[in-house]
Structure 1
């Protein structure tokens, strides 16, 4: 009896304990990816539930999921609006990967009979989706970082740029025989296709501090790692700046979002209901707080707008918790084959939300069809987010918004391994080493040498490079056929000393022209790299069109040799110059100059000092000048080429101020004078109406001066449309000693053409411009009122071709079509005033080559 009692108790004990062990053993880990069965694209935020438990979750922005299950559950159910629900069997107690392909709910029917009226048109009125988006818009101010007094966070950025969608045939070409180690394979469902060849990678880690009053955002870059190419071929800093401009941070709460140099209207912009259609497509009750899935699409598929999904919290914040943004394949966006942006938000301690991760992928190609192209992917992760914790004022000291710590580029691999929010994939980790290896291969160096010659115009010979090649041959009416040969030293010779020279010969005037300069870098950096800090001494003897800046590279350009009308009046110039240039990290710069300048008329140009006699002509004007130039371009980014710097135009203004003083009796100077010039350049973004570039400029000359020393206004007698010149004004047509001008250039980005059925597929873009110049001459400088003033020039028929602006402003305007073949802009230009001047045209056709996205 006792034994039986013990046995019964033991059995009861086992019955109680064993289920507990079974429960512990039945930990089931399941992960995978949910995709569209037909397109193979991932499905973000698809819902899944453990059958029989009522518990579940959602996939992330990349369509991935993972869950750990306790118990004997054997099924996971996956669902998404517009797709058939799918049930997957799982094996309890095992770690397993289950990828899910959801089928579209479209059904095949043998016959369809439709009766009844038409589908009612989409309307904003009484539309619950529009009412919801208006609540999101109304709550934007409290859901932005700017609503807090203080915010601090750490930001990790990773940029990867690759040749993409490469075929096996392309990969196995003979030219890539030595480069097979560079190619990577990725999931063929992702943007960019299967085969990829990375060409650039950068990682950046920064501490960021925001203060509301006075408002300031300070970024301190503590680590920066990127692929570094040979500087003879590629400007690494400029390349990084270019990608930063193309792939800017995405703020869903901004009215406009910058993507590949274009502004696309945000789906929660103040005016979004007027341009987007909104639909409530799902309610996600498995999340806390509950989410509403809000789908949106452009009213016009050609406009610069997004389409995608927003997931809005229903906790009273009406905040965006997740967002998936893409664009219609027919959008008026050049070279972009596909675009995806995924945003994830996390909840703060005050139950509001901040951006925690963003991922932007853009696939570029010459055509929308398949084929080799380029794919850029930028991932940004935010962590250590702190709100309303006061930050010491010392953090914000200094005018620069961006500070890079001295050892940012020297961080060890161990540092990066410890500080990356997510470990790099095996293939991505190899990019730095692979590209370093690539640059040591002789065949790659030869290829880059050829590419640099073609695009930059210079042939590298180590310590010296020859070029630019587009200036080797040109022609004009004074010099006739002109040959030129020149070059400059490189950093391979010295990072301190630079020399540049050229020699040219005109076969019509039989004269040699030449240039020689020596530059000393004061910051031990290339004089072509930002920020510049150098001293330069130079001498130049060359021709120049009066009123045009002496930019010998531009004037020697073969394509600019073709001009309209009479243009046989030029100057021979001797320039002795000493210049000091100093740029600062905050993009303020100043330069000081000392110049001795001799001007001699050439062609049919002459200098006549008085109207009283024909024998008062002079052969030369000599001046000595000192000058101060101030420039401020906040937040400016640019790509630094071999010869010039190309700004990446943004919304921030650029200010210029210049003062020049003529010194009579110093180094042979013949005149005392003062010249003041100021300008402001600004781009205004007008959302769906494109953007407007505005330049306002003014100048004032003090002193009695001959007209070659006054302000000779920028004219253009080529057939190219020039943004900063007057395209129907003749050379030397107008001079002033005081003037003010405005230049307005409007690009509508296809806003009107996109809505015209026969034109919309051509993806043309409308452009307009207007230019006005108001100025005049004081009596002392106007030969019409002072016979002792230097006389204006007359042509061979005795007609005066140089004039003062004494009958109102000079005005011209244009309308045109841009984006022709994606690279060409053609304008019909109309001149509105001073039409009675000799040899002027009231209208003309001008063209400009410009690559736009």
Structure 2
């Protein structure tokens, strides 16, 4: 019997199974051995490719089987090599093309704009960007599948063989290799979602509704531990915009018009892709240390739209804690006039160090778009309705559902991830490692259905309480919790008092987000550290801490507050709230008093006040993670409009004052292209009627060593007291635009910040007379100018350096007016710590 055909068939089957994917790496050089940066490397006859880095090196992977690899470079002949095995190393040696010698020097330096065929092609893309894709259809509908995954990367034997992992060896059987970087990785978190998306284009208006149909989640930290990091992967972007916002930074888009002054573009190739003739453009940044990408794109002929594009953040970009960011967009061409999104992929390599061999975490988001429909028109009211994201069917979809609705099949390692992660969560040693990371990231210690913390508030000190110890926690069942109970208790060893705060809220209507809340607080607080009134029962200003104070921390107030509220969000990002508050306020220290003169001429040391308020908060463009009673913001580039009205009842519940208070708060961040980000904050308000000092509007000072948001860095507490005020804060962060151009500072990734703050305010004579006892006790108040005079404005300005050692910011402040106030601070230095990208 001839067994040879059978053996050949078996060998073929084994080959198909083992090599059902292609992984290659290598380098591209010229005949003299000089590396060729930004060379195009693709699997032949596909758009699956990459661009070599600054050293000519590349890595490329595909889930499909390919047999040939092609390298090309403008001014050089193409070279095609055969793929013989997995992880094969290639050395492409390219020879100069005799008929293109004129262009050899162009691609390695700055490419001129005039006569550049790549830019001429992009101009056609810009002319068509508003007339292709989903914008062309009055109505559309499609299905979206989204997978988010976190993986430990750079796993090697020195890591897996450590004693700490004894008993967890089964985990490392799930190690795989990244198709982007070639690094091995271990999955630790996975989340899958299916959505039905509906859209309507009507003139310049666009209505979009996204219904969550199914969700599956597993891994470490299904709660706060991972959601803290996951939010940056949810930010959407448009490649046709001039700038793509990632991790709070504006990266110049290679497809937007602003890219002409930022990138070199080279027309590298052309080919038939999926039956459509396409042009390949390679792009790379002109300058270093800017927020840019490198990569390539394929432009479909006739449609003149991007067919596929890959974008890799430049290694010299001013980013913290991230070694690599890779974006990929694929579109499918329906016909000569329609091109639709098909796939979106994003990968970020988070790491404490940018060293190539250092361990880190991959954060990956993969999105597929399918089942397009354009003949199902719906009324405008349909898009304003909200789907029920709490339905049990969403979170209980079985394996059969996922097999039919998973547009991208899970690979071998992903198929085993759910069982592996469920097992991993039961290993005590791993739970201890994970819990430590959660504490550092969120400040809370996780227990089943309960979080203890914030742990960083456990110990504190000020001149009134002395050493202060605090314990507290909150219920936590998940991001879709319908209710939450939070509380704390604290004790001061100097005043020998027990303080506490407790707060409960419940959402009894999921669609309109009708929420009821009630709370009580009995504590000491540094009032006068914020203009816009807050009835947050659990709030305690950073200014209250004496550990970080540049002066005495004895101007504290004893606050007893009861708060009841109802809030609703009938329309996304428009929140309405009715608030009932009853408070008792008096000085917590003999260093000053909050006394006032009542209508009978008697001095009263304590203010009793009952207040009913109404507020509207509008946050257009805000994106949210979670659907429970508490949610997290995904983005931070949205404006905030806040308007509140409060009525103080002078005869209700022994209330002391009858007044009306109107306040408005507006904050808007502006991204000014590659120049950086400006943040503008405006606050205005007026108290109609008479009130004690504890109820008036105090321009917020800052006597700490650190920056506190929306305060004035050189003002002392209670230095300016008003009943009518307006304040403006302007701050601009250049994100290293200036310092990044200085050679010996470039590698430090410093970021320059400038700002100016101003306040105007007045106070009526009636309120001055009411509060003479309190004014006389304030150490910094000038009785001859009890508030900012109507003809003048208090202002200060600052300049600072951010991102020092990636975590510290240092600001220098100068006072511009009211230099004659008692103990006026004319100059100051303040710092702040923070983990930002």
TM-score range, shorter chain: 0.7 to 0.9
Q: 1:491–1:152: structure 2 CA closer, same or farther, 3 Å change rule? A: closer
Aligned to 1:828: 812
Using the TM superposition, give the Cα deviation of residue 592 of structure 1 relative to its aligned residue in structure 2, in angstroms: 3.1
Matches within 5 A, 1:49-198: 59=48, 64=62, 78=70, 80-81=72-73, 85-86=79-80, 88=82, 102-105=90-93, 122-183=111-172, 188=177, 190-191=179-180, 194-198=183-187
User: 2:420 aligns to what SS in structure 1?
Assistant: helix
CA-to-aligned-CA distance 1:572-605 (integer Å, 9 cap, x gap): 2222333445556824333333322222223321
Q: 1:283–1:522: structure 2 CA closer, same or farther, 3 Å change rule? A: closer
Matched, 1:703 2:689: yes
Question: Is the 2:110–2:264 contact (alpha carbons within 8 Å) kept by the matching residues of 1?
Answer: no
Aligned to 2:471: 486
Question: Is the 2:720–2:781 contact (alpha carbons within 8 Å) kept by the matching residues of 1?
Answer: no
Aligned to 2:737: 751
Question: Is the 2:648–2:657 contact (alpha carbons within 8 Å) kept by the matching residues of 1?
Answer: yes
- Rounded to whole Å, the distance in 1 between the matches of 2:405 and 2:145 is 9
Matches within 5 A, 1:348-747: 348-369=334-355, 370-387=357-374, 389-393=375-379, 396-398=382-384, 400=386, 407-458=393-444, 467-479=453-465, 481-488=466-473, 490=475, 498=485, 500-507=487-494, 510-517=495-502, 519=504, 521-523=506-508, 533-548=515-530, 554-555=540-541, 561-582=547-568, 586-601=572-587, 602-607=589-594, 609=596, 617-637=603-623, 647-747=633-733
Aligned to 1:72: none
CA-to-aligned-CA distance 1:514-534 (integer Å, 9 cap, x gap): 224362635499xxxx96834
CA-to-aligned-CA distance 1:166-187 (integer Å, 9 cap, x gap): 1211112122122222235666
Matches within 5 A, 1:1-20: none
Using the TM superposition, give the Cα deviation of residue 45 of structure 1 relative to its aligned residue in structure 2, in angstroms: 7.1
Query: Once superposed, what is the RMSD of the aligned Cα atoms?
Result: 4.1
- Rounded to whole Å, the distance in 2 between the matches of 1:719 and 1:673 is 36
- Unaligned segments of structure 2, at least 5 residues: 1-14, 30-36, 51-59, 97-103
Question: Is the 1:496–1:524 contact (alpha carbons within 8 Å) kept by the matching residues of 2?
Answer: no
Matches within 5 A, 1:244-323: 244-284=231-271, 288-315=275-302, 317-323=303-309
Aligned to 2:821: 837
User: 1:227 aligns to what SS in structure 2?
Assistant: strand
Moved more, 173-182 or 286-295: 286-295
- Rounded to whole Å, the distance in 2 between the matches of 1:358 and 1:463 is 35
2:788 to 783, 790, 805: 805
Using the TM superposition, give the Cα deviation of residue 305 of structure 1 relative to its aligned residue in structure 2, in angstroms: 0.8
Q: 1:351–1:405: structure 2 CA closer, same or farther, 3 Å change rule? A: farther
- Rounded to whole Å, the distance in 2 between the matches of 1:229 and 1:594 is 40
Using the TM superposition, give the Cα deviation of residue 541 of structure 1 relative to its aligned residue in structure 2, in angstroms: 4.0
- Rounded to whole Å, the distance in 1 between the matches of 2:623 and 2:550 is 36
Aligned to 1:12: none
Q: 1:670–1:575: structure 2 CA closer, same or farther, 3 Å change rule? A: same
Using the TM superposition, give the Cα deviation of residue 206 of structure 1 relative to its aligned residue in structure 2, in angstroms: 1.1
Question: Is the 1:203–1:226 contact (alpha carbons within 8 Å) kept by the matching residues of 2?
Answer: yes
Q: 1:834–1:35: structure 2 CA closer, same or farther, 3 Å change rule? A: same
Q: 1:402–1:814: structure 2 CA closer, same or farther, 3 Å change rule? A: farther
User: 1:793 aligns to what SS in structure 2?
Assistant: helix
Using the TM superposition, give the Cα deviation of residue 847 of structure 1 relative to its aligned residue in structure 2, in angstroms: 0.8
User: 1:329 aligns to what SS in structure 2?
Assistant: coil
- Rounded to whole Å, the distance in 1 between the matches of 2:41 and 2:139 is 32
Q: 1:395–1:167: structure 2 CA closer, same or farther, 3 Å change rule? A: farther
Using the TM superposition, give the Cα deviation of residue 165 of structure 1 relative to its aligned residue in structure 2, in angstroms: 0.7
- Rounded to whole Å, the distance in 2 between the matches of 1:752 and 1:174 is 48
- Rounded to whole Å, the distance in 1 between the matches of 2:105 and 2:470 is 77
Question: Is the 2:241–2:253 contact (alpha carbons within 8 Å) kept by the matching residues of 1?
Answer: yes
CA-to-aligned-CA distance 1:363-411 (integer Å, 9 cap, x gap): 1212221111011121111112234x35221773425599676522121
User: 1:146 aligns to what SS in structure 2?
Assistant: helix
Using the TM superposition, give the Cα deviation of residue 245 of structure 1 relative to its aligned residue in structure 2, in angstroms: 3.0
- Rounded to whole Å, the distance in 1 between the matches of 2:781 and 2:639 is 45
Aligned to 2:208: 217
* Bigger-Rg structure (1/2): 1
- Rounded to whole Å, the distance in 2 between the matches of 1:469 and 1:788 is 39
Using the TM superposition, give the Cα deviation of residue 430 of structure 1 relative to its aligned residue in structure 2, in angstroms: 1.9
Moved more, 156-165 or 252-261: 252-261
Question: Is the 1:823–1:850 contact (alpha carbons within 8 Å) kept by the matching residues of 2?
Answer: yes
User: 1:535 aligns to what SS in structure 2?
Assistant: strand
Question: Is the 2:24–2:86 contact (alpha carbons within 8 Å) kept by the matching residues of 1?
Answer: no
- Rounded to whole Å, the distance in 2 between the matches of 1:402 and 1:330 is 45
Question: Is the 2:788–2:794 contact (alpha carbons within 8 Å) kept by the matching residues of 1?
Answer: yes
- Rounded to whole Å, the distance in 1 between the matches of 2:599 and 2:143 is 76
Q: 1:174–1:60: structure 2 CA closer, same or farther, 3 Å change rule? A: same
- Rounded to whole Å, the distance in 2 between the matches of 1:541 and 1:223 is 45
Matched, 1:793 2:776: yes
Question: Is the 1:284–1:292 contact (alpha carbons within 8 Å) kept by the matching residues of 2?
Answer: yes
Using the TM superposition, give the Cα deviation of residue 631 of structure 1 relative to its aligned residue in structure 2, in angstroms: 2.2
